[in-house]
Each structure stands twice: as structure tokens, then as C-alpha cells.
Chains A and B, each alone.
Chain A
């Protein structure tokens, strides 16, 4: 059974409701079942009541008047579960009777057990009540946040987005129903991509799929520099990768409700940026965008997002620049977590082992989806440095266990993060990471390192390779 947090549940309900309205009747109800919950608790309780009744009937004591204790129990608004197994039986008649003293002792023990069990259950009921209240509070605060975002912030985006109040609200997580809008606005559209341009790119992509599937690729080999084989490989790759994108959600795979959208965004991108083409990891980014935006808007956000310096460095696999990013990361790593940093150095745990996956997919593959979306929220607010701050937040959160692990266990731990990552602790941990090293900010550290590596290249070209 997949554990789904309320936030994700909410996100997907909103999302599915919205998408379904738009594309009515096509994918009847698909997806609802995925996130639906069976109210297990109720059943279990009813069953146990029934069982107890049956047991009491069989035990042949229906004539006994209900004891005052049972009356009390009926008045409670929960039914003790564990006491159902605790029924004091009279000794079978074929055995010699217990001495009165012993019988008394056993009755007393029995009563103590019942009292204990009830205490436990009362506690459990209180816990559940608290959880429910927590959930209501959360839903209420999300409701309030939606109003604030819709009525106050979004209409005045330009003037408000960098205000203290909005930044604080932003950090709490953007409500799923406005998330797509906020992401779009924050990512911007420096490339001035229109819906028409998306349609043109998509039409070209579709033309290519058709021509490759019919085998008639001869006709259009005029695209300079990119051979038909390259393009075909890229298309094949997209197909393969889509099948390997969030496979457990079963919505992007062939036949799933979002398969075509994902295919369209990625295909259109290879036509829009043939110089970049399709690179593994892109399918995860496009998928997360599609979960929050309509196809054309997802494409616009996708293209602009990939056009940011950090993403360009990684998706063009500019190895030198990637190493510079890792080096900058290590500066802040050492500054924030010196003990763990030393441990990593000693064990040859280089950042590429864990950062490549995290940065390429913007954490969407390694974190639970609802947490990944919250990381994206702040990434849209703060830019690339937040990706590295998140990494340090993760390392800080687990630093005690990590310091006790050897190379292989750390590597395995970081490439397969725990699925039940505690959201609030995680964000508190990120918040306590200082992105300041000797009065230098992330961008300054990065620029300085870039300059260093360029000078080294110039100074001794033989050092490269």
C-alpha cells in the first residue's frame, strides 16, 4: 500500500478534477482510485465488535446481565479493541475448582489487564483525535493560503512577489491549486515562447514520429548537423524513458492518462532545441510540470527552466562546469557541516555520487513527490542555490547516521533516501543551512571558482584530460 500524504492527496485531487473537467469523459475516473483511501479503521472496528458479540454468544453467557463495566464501555465514543481478547472464562467443569483465593487473584489480574488496555486505547483515541485536528488545521491553513494567493498575491505579482510576507508564505509550500501558476510566474518566460510556437514544435515532432514509424526518413535529412539516426535515437530514448518515469504512479506510461502530454512536451522540446536534444532526467522534470500545468504552459516552463545556467550546465553535460558546481557545493558543505564533510573526504564520498541524480531531476526522483514539489516551490523563489541548500539540508538531517556509516552505506543511503522523510524537520534542517561562506554568497563563490578553473585551463592546458 502506498502511503500518500494529505498534501499530495489534495494536490492530485485538485489536479485530476481540473484536468478531468478539461478532458471530460476521455479517461473516466482514472487516477482517482490511485489516490483513494479505503477507510480501514472503520471496518476493523466493526469487525471486532461483531467478533466479540459472536464470541460472547458462543461462550454461552448471554443470560448474564451486562456488568456496570460494560455499560461504561458502551458510553465511551470508542470501542476498546484489545480487550476483545481479554475475556475471563470460568473454569471448565471437568477440572477441579480453583481455590477461592486463587480465583480472586485471577479476577483481580484480569481486571488490571482490562484497565491497562483501556488506558492504552484512550491514549490511542486521543492521538487519533489530535491527528484529525492537525489535519483540519492543515486543510484550513491551505484554504486560507489559497485565498491569499488568489486574491492578494497573484493579481499584484510584480509588486508583491519579493515581499517579506509572500516569501514567508511561499516557504510554507504553495497550495497545489495555485502551484502551477506561481511556478510559471516565478520561472518566467525569458524565451518568449508562445502557445503557437509550442503547437509548431509539436507538429514537427509528430511529423517526425510518423515518418520514422513508416520508415520514410529519406525525405527530410536536410536538418543540418543532426543525422536522421541521431534524431531517431532521441525519439527512441524518449519512449524508453517515459516508461521509466515515476513507474509506480502508472499515469505516464503507455495507456496512462498523462502519457501523451509527457511525450508531447519532450518531443516538442527536441524540435525547439535540437542542439540540446533529449537528455535523461528531463522526463522527470517535464512530468512534475505536467502534474501542475496544462501541456503548453508546461512546455513553456520546461524550456525556460532548462535554459537556466545550472540546468544548461548539467543537461549539456558540461563536465567542467558541473565540477565547478560541485566544488562550490563543497565550500558550503565544509562551512555548514565540517564534521560530516571530513567524514566524507576520508571515505572518498565525492558529491557527484549523490548530487548528479538530485540536480538532474530536481529531487523529483529521490524525494517523495509532495516534498519534491515543496523543494521546487522554493527553488522557483531562490534559484539554483536552493538545490544545493536542499542537498545540505538532507545531509544535515541525517548527519548522525551518516557519520557512523562507511562508504558503501552512505552511497546507498543517499541514492535511496528514506520514503518517510519527515517534512517539517526536513525543511527546518534546510532553513538552518547558511548559504554564506566568509561573507561570500553562493553566486560569488561560484563565479570565483569558475574564474579559477578558467585560469587553470589557460595556464596549463595539459592539466585538462
Chain B
């Protein structure tokens, strides 16, 4: 029957240090949680294959160091990303307030398109008692920016899969929309091949640009 479409997506996870970016990622990819991750410096990349609708998605997720001072350094890793997880710690108000800057950094590094750049916000560590960021406040900020919000716990595996899949699905539809609009507008096949090579997008044989 219809061969399944295959798409490579590059996602990034960013946010202040210590909010649990590495933990979230490991919970999502490996279904494990450790108390003692080492500090992440530079970038560490994990991959996971998921099936969404009728498409096989090969996710490549970039985990980056979170110290404020590293922002300019890690922002070179945002290039070519298809979506972004903005993470903060619900027990750390500053990490929530920093979201604005992290979001700005990402948007500055991505090419504007008809469909907006996909993001999700994850408020992590809801398993802890000393909460500083009320759910309504985080929800309000996200609503204003039109970003889906998830309250999550990497430790107890709450909502983690849902959040990543939401992002993957938005990134996919943005990428498909982009290919479709190029096809419709009769752009030369050259541009299509450039795009498909970059995104690793394959139309299941129809355009002959498999990866």
C-alpha cells in the first residue's frame, strides 16, 4: 500500500540551568530518570524514532548547557531546528522569567515562515512541594504567546511524552506545509531537493527525494 512517509526533525531543548533539560530528555528517550546527571556543556544529542499519523519521524533532539553566559555560544546549535522545547522549573521563578529571553534567542536564529516556529513550554518538577510559579501564571504567558503549555515531571514521567509528541506533530505539519506550498507554487525541483535534503523530508516516493 502507501509506503509510510519518513521525516527527520531537529528539535532543541533549552532553558535556564538546572531546570532538568537532560532529565526530561532522558525520560522521553530512554524512559529513565537519574538524580545525578553531570552538567551539560556544549551540546549532547539524542535520537528517537516515533510514528505519528502515517509518518515515521526520526527525531534528533539537541540538549544544551543552560548557563546564562552560554546563550550566545549554544545559539549556533539552533540553526536548522524544526521545533523547540522551552523548559523551566516550577520551583524556580527566575527560570520562568528567563523564558522570554530564551524564546527571543531561538526566534532570532530561525527563518520566518508562513507558519510560526513550533514551540512548547514545559514547567518541570511538579512533583516537588515548594512551587513558585502558579500554573495560571505560566498558562497565561503561554496563551499570550500562543504556545502550548505542559506541566510535567521528568521524575515521575508525567506529561513528558505528550509534550514532545505535540511539538513533533507541530513541527511535522509546519514542514509538510512548507513542502506543499513549494509544490503548489511550482518552484523548481532544485529548491525542493535542497529543502528535502536539509529536512530529510521524503514524500513517500512521489517526488523521488527519499532520504
Taking Cβ atoms with an 8 Å cutoff, the residues of A that contact B are: 233, 237, 240-241, 243-248, 253, 279-281, 283-284, 317, 319, 322, 350, 352-357, 360-361, 365, 408, 411-412, 415-416
Please, which residue of chain B has its CB at the minimum distance from the CB of A242?
A: B39
Instruction: Indicate which residue in A240, A244, A284, A319 contacts B73 across the interface (CB closer than 8 Å).
Output: A319
Q: A240-B17, A244-B37 are in contact. Are A356 and B43 (CB under 8 A)?
A: yes
Instruction: Indicate which residue in A237, A284, A352, A412 contacts B42 across the interface (CB closer than 8 Å).
Output: A352
Q: Which 3 A-B pairs have the closest CB atoms?
A: A356-B42, A247-B36, A357-B41
Measured between beta carbons, the chain B residues less than 8 angstroms from A354 are 42
Q: How far is the CA of A356 from the CA of B70 in the complex (A)?
A: 11
Measured between beta carbons, the chain B residues less than 8 angstroms from A365 are 38-39, 41
Q: How far is the CA of A280 from the CA of B73 in the complex (A)?
A: 13
Q: How far is the CA of A365 from the CA of B46 in the complex (A)?
A: 18
Q: A237-B17, A317-B73, A322-B73 are in contact. Are A415 and B43 (CB under 8 A)?
A: yes
Q: How far is the CA of A354 from the CA of B94 in the complex (A)?
A: 29
Instruction: Indicate which residue in B17, B41, B46, B69 contacts A356 across the interface (CB closer than 8 Å).
Output: B41
Please, which residue of chain B has its CB at the minimum distance from the CB of A283?
A: B39
Q: Is the CB of B72 within 8 A of A319?
A: yes
Q: B210 within 8 Å of A by Cβ? A: no
Instruction: Indicate which residue in A243, A253, A279 contacts B67 across the interface (CB closer than 8 Å).
Output: A279
Q: A280-B70, A408-B60 are in contact. Are A245 and B39 (CB under 8 A)?
A: yes
B 43-75 contacts with A by CB, 8 A:
43-47, 60, 65, 67, 69-70, 72-73
Measured between beta carbons, the chain A residues less than 8 angstroms from B42 are 352-357, 360, 415
Q: How far is the CA of A416 from the CA of B37 in the complex (A)?
A: 13
Q: B199 within 8 Å of A by Cβ? A: no
Please, which residue of chain A has its CB at the minimum distance from the CB of B35?
A: A247
Shortest distance between the CB of B132 and any CB in chain A (Å): 14
Measured between beta carbons, the chain B residues less than 8 angstroms from A411 are 43, 45
Listed residue (B39, B42, B94) with the most chain A CB atoms within 10 angstroms of its CB = B39
Q: B204 within 8 Å of A by Cβ? A: no
Measured between beta carbons, the chain B residues less than 8 angstroms from A248 are 36
Please, which residue of chain A has its CB at the minimum distance from the CB of B43?
A: A353
Q: How far is the CA of A283 from the CA of B40 in the complex (A)?
A: 12
Q: How far is the CA of A243 from the CA of B36 in the complex (A)?
A: 7
Instruction: Indicate which residue in B18, B45, B76 contacts A415 across the interface (CB closer than 8 Å).
Output: B45
Shortest distance between the CB of A339 and any CB in chain B (Å): 23
Q: Is the CB of B43 within 8 A of A317?
A: no
Q: Is the CB of B39 within 8 A of A280?
A: yes
Shortest distance between the CB of A255 and any CB in chain B (Å): 13
Shortest distance between the CB of B154 and any CB in chain A (Å): 15
Measured between beta carbons, the chain A residues less than 8 angstroms from B67 are 237, 279-280
Q: How far is the CA of A247 from the CA of B35 in the complex (A)?
A: 9
Measured between beta carbons, the chain B residues less than 8 angstroms from A357 are 41-42
Measured between beta carbons, the chain A residues less than 8 angstroms from B73 are 317, 319, 322, 352, 356
Q: List 27 A-B contacts (CB under 8 A).
A: A240-B17, A240-B18, A241-B39, A244-B37, A244-B38, A244-B39, A245-B38, A245-B39, A246-B38, A247-B36, A247-B37, A248-B36, A280-B17, A281-B41, A283-B39, A317-B70, A317-B73, A319-B73, A322-B73, A350-B76, A353-B43, A354-B42, A356-B65, A356-B73, A357-B41, A412-B46, A415-B42
Q: Is the CB of A408 within 8 A of B47?
A: yes
Instruction: Indicate which residue in B41, B44, B46, B77 contacts A361 across the interface (CB closer than 8 Å).
Output: B41
Q: Is the CB of A317 within 8 A of B38?
A: no
Q: How far is the CA of A174 from the CA of B136 in the complex (A)?
A: 59
Q: How far is the CA of A416 from the CA of B42 in the complex (A)?
A: 13
Please, which residue of chain B has its CB at the minimum distance from the CB of A322?
A: B73
Measured between beta carbons, the chain B residues less than 8 angstroms from A352 are 42-43, 73, 76-77
Q: A415-B44, A415-B45 are in contact. Are A244 and B36 (CB under 8 A)?
A: yes
Please, which residue of chain B has its CB at the minimum distance from the CB of A323?
A: B76
Q: Is the CB of B45 within 8 A of A412?
A: yes
Q: Is the CB of B41 within 8 A of A317?
A: no
Measured between beta carbons, the chain A residues less than 8 angstroms from B45 are 353, 408, 411-412, 415
Q: Is the CB of B43 within 8 A of A280?
A: no
Bitwise interface map of B from 16 to 30 toward A, beta carbon under 8 Å scored 1, else 0: 011000000000000
Q: Is the CB of A281 within 8 A of B47?
A: no
Q: How far is the CA of A429 from the CA of B7 in the complex (A)?
A: 39
Please, which residue of chain B has its CB at the minimum distance from the CB of A315?
A: B69
Measured between beta carbons, the chain A residues less than 8 angstroms from B77 are 352-353
Shortest distance between the CB of A47 and any CB in chain B (Å): 34
Q: How far is the CA of A284 from the CA of B18 in the complex (A)?
A: 17
Shortest distance between the CB of A224 and any CB in chain B (Å): 20
Bitwise interface map of B from 70 to 99 toward A, beta carbon under 8 Å scored 1, else 0: 101100110000000000000000100000
Q: A317-B72, A319-B72, A415-B44 are in contact. Are A280 and B65 (CB under 8 A)?
A: yes
Q: How far is the CA of A244 from the CA of B18 in the complex (A)?
A: 10
Q: How far is the CA of A248 from the CA of B35 in the complex (A)?
A: 11
